[in-house]
A and B are shown apart, each in its own frame.
Chain A
Amino acid sequence: MLEVSELHAFYGKSHILQGVDLKIGQGEIVSLLGRNGVGRSTTCKAIMGLVPPQGRVVFKGRNVAGQRPDQIAHAGIGYVPEDRQIFPGLTVKQNLELGMKRANKFGRWNFDDMFKLFPNLGERRDNAAGVLSGGEQQMLTMCRTLMGDPDLVIIDEPTEGLAPKLVEQVAQLLDEIAKRGIAILLVEQKLTIALKISTRLYVMGHGHIVFEGSPAALAANNAVRKEWLEV
């Protein structure tokens, strides 16, 4: 479904991505692991067109590298940023509405689905999103992207700074997404979640992929975990 090859990206003169290669199949949950600053978030942004990419980003057989973010979103890729970027002055429902690419055109998800999954959001549907708690904002930002009915969703650090109970809720939502046949590229620091839900994992170091394999293979590979993941 998504095939990224020789992906490079720069911030000014800094060469952040130095030839990233990764693949995601239909309905797969793939995790991208690595320490802070190795280029995981930049990989997401480069795929989404938010950072100018060099290389190939082939989605459903079409190279989308160099297209605008809205064109990439219309191709079927959804993006949940690490810093949430909810629209604080708009209500919860309006935030969800903006996730939809066209008015009143629902795909696999509608408002009721979201409010059933997260009753807190339902109760606060007419409140300004800016007053939600950090956990509620994280749920909202994920739900907002899902309202656009993507076939692949890139989720950057969804559990960052969340209480254990909320981390569990995020894991449940990821399960629900996978059940509906949507592929996930999950950027995570918490190895336990990634090992539990992923079908495959990539580990990044210094701007490129240093390991690719199954959760079992990573769990068994002490050397990779020590060198590239453990602090």
Chain B
Amino acid sequence: MELIIVSLLNGLVYGMLLFMLASGLTLILSMMGVLNFAHASAYMLGAYFAFTISQHIGFWPALILAPVLCGLVGAGIEMFGLRRVHKNGHIAELLFTFGLALIIEKVVQMTWGLIPVPYRVPAGLDFTLFKIYGTNFPAYRAFMLLISALMFGAIWLGLTRTRIGLVIQAALTHPEMVGALGHNVPKVFTGVFAAGTALAGLAGVIGGNYQVTEPAMAFTMGPIVFVVVVFGGLGSLSGCFIASLLMGMIQTFAVVLDYSLADLLKHFDVVVTSTTPFHEVLLVPLSRIGALLPYILLVLILVFRPRGLMGTREA
């Protein structure tokens, strides 16, 4: 029971962090058809910007300023890079964002160094909020949950209760028609790209000190965010939300479960020994393949349901 509650809470924190990254990526991918490899780089930039800003003026201003800076970088990339590359097709866009991700990584290495930076949880939030069955639940994790819940609420209200939100929703399925009705789609694209990048930056601000702020963090986080987007389904924020929580839970639960296929077979009176065929595979504990599970799910969903969980378009 203790294991379940603690893992549920941790899975929720990680899942919400994933959603913060994936929501921007899914909007960008669905609306503009751009598979933005540099999206997780914004997550990394958010963490590094926050580290530098918090050294000078503290964590709280960094919480606002770092995402804003990331948003400005995103707007610049869209207006002066992607928009021009877009004319040459999706392959060119893909290569452009891939190159950009590598450039950002190198720039980060040159600016902040190769080793992790000491970006720490702010002192005001560095305490235990409560204990469950003897396990501490840090206040900072509750803060992360609060920020992600606020962000989720803001996105939901923005998309469903404002006119620009309607335009964005409409552009998810028929961007050309939205333009023909008199809405400036390129401007909306820039706005969505900037907002998506700012959200990734915000995830970096609150996730960088929860995990580790280092130059490899973008390439560690990037693939799992793609899994969330494809699993949730293109054009669906609800699908993205469910997929984020699911992946968060799977990864959190998998690392604490020490079961293997051999344990499962025991229930059917099959004992796996060193002479059993494929015993190496059957004896691998779930905790060791936990990181692999999301990718297995990705392959399965692409084969059996290419639209994703709740997608409106084929992946």
Please tell me if A152 contacts chain B, counting CB pairs below 8 Å.
Answer: no
B182: contacting residue among A90, A94, A103, A148, CB under 8 A: A148
Asked whether A89 lies within 8 Å of B173 as measured between CB atoms, the reply is yes
Q: 1/0 per position for B159-186, CB-CB distance to A under 8 A?
A: 0000100110110111011111111111
Decide if B166 touches A48 in the complex (CB within 8 Å).
no
Query: What number of A residues sit within 8 Å (CB to CB) of B?
Result: 24
Interface size class for chain B? 20 to 34
A69 to B174, CA, bound (A): 13
Contact mask for chain A residues 207-230; partner B; CB cutoff 8 A; 1 contact, 0 none:
000000000000000000000000
Q: Per-residue CB proximity of A75-109 to B under 8 Å, as 1/0?
A: 00001010001011110001001110101000000
Q: Is A145 part of the binding interface, using a Cβ–Cβ cutoff of 8 Å? A: yes
How far is B177's CA from A85's CA once the two chains are assembled, in angstroms? 7
Query: Which of A72, A88, A97 is in CB contact (< 8 Å) with B163?
Result: A97
Please state if B312 and A70 are interface contacts (CB–CB under 8 Å).
no
Chain A contacts for B183, CB-based, 8 A: 70, 98, 101
How far is B172's CA from A8's CA once the two chains are assembled, in angstroms?
30
A68→B184 contact, CB < 8 A = yes
A73-B181, A98-B166, A145-B181 are known contacts. Are A68 and B186 too (CB-CB below 8 A)? Answer: yes
Q: Do A98 and B185 touch across chains, with their CB atoms under 8 A apart?
A: no
Within 8 A of A (CB), among B133-178: 163, 166-167, 169-170, 172-174, 176-178
Q: Which of B273-303 contact A (CB under 8 A)?
A: none
Is the pair A73, B180 in contact by a Cβ cutoff of 8 Å?
yes
Cβ contacts under 8 Å, A48 to chain B: 180
Q: Report how far A148 CA is from B183 CA in the complex, Å.
A: 11
Kindly list chain A residues whose C-beta atoms are within 8 Å of the C-beta of B178: 98
Identify which of B174, B179, B184, B185 contacts A87 (C-beta below 8 A).
B174
B181 touches A148 (CB 8 A): yes
Are B166 and A69 within 8 A (Cβ)? no
Chain A residues whose C-beta falls within 8 Å of the C-beta of B179 in the assembled complex? 50, 68-70, 73
Give the contacting residue for A94; candidates B166, B173, B176; CB below 8 A: B166
A144 at the interface (CB under 8 A from B): yes
CB < 8 Å neighbour of A97 from B166, B174, B180, B182: B166
For residue A74, CB closer than 8 A to chain B, the reply is: yes
In whole Å, how far is B238's beta carbon from the nearest beta carbon of chain A? 10
Q: List 17 additional contacts besides A73-B180, A89-B172; criterion CB under 8 Å.
A: A48-B180, A68-B179, A68-B184, A69-B180, A69-B185, A70-B183, A73-B181, A74-B182, A79-B180, A81-B177, A81-B180, A85-B177, A87-B169, A88-B173, A98-B170, A101-B181, A103-B163
> What are the 10 closest A-B residue pairs judged by CB atoms, nearest first?
A73-B182, A101-B182, A69-B179, A85-B177, A87-B170, A85-B174, A69-B180, A79-B180, A70-B184, A70-B179
What are 22 A-B interface contacts by the 8 Å CB criterion?
A: A48-B180, A68-B179, A68-B184, A69-B179, A70-B180, A73-B182, A81-B177, A87-B169, A87-B170, A87-B174, A88-B312, A89-B172, A90-B166, A90-B170, A94-B166, A97-B163, A98-B170, A98-B181, A98-B183, A101-B182, A103-B163, A145-B181
Residues of chain B touching chain A, judged by Cβ–Cβ distance below 8 Å, are: 163, 166-167, 169-170, 172-174, 176-186, 312
Residues of A at the B interface (CB closer than 8 Å) are: 48, 50, 68-70, 72-74, 79, 81, 85, 87-90, 94, 97-99, 101, 103, 144-145, 148
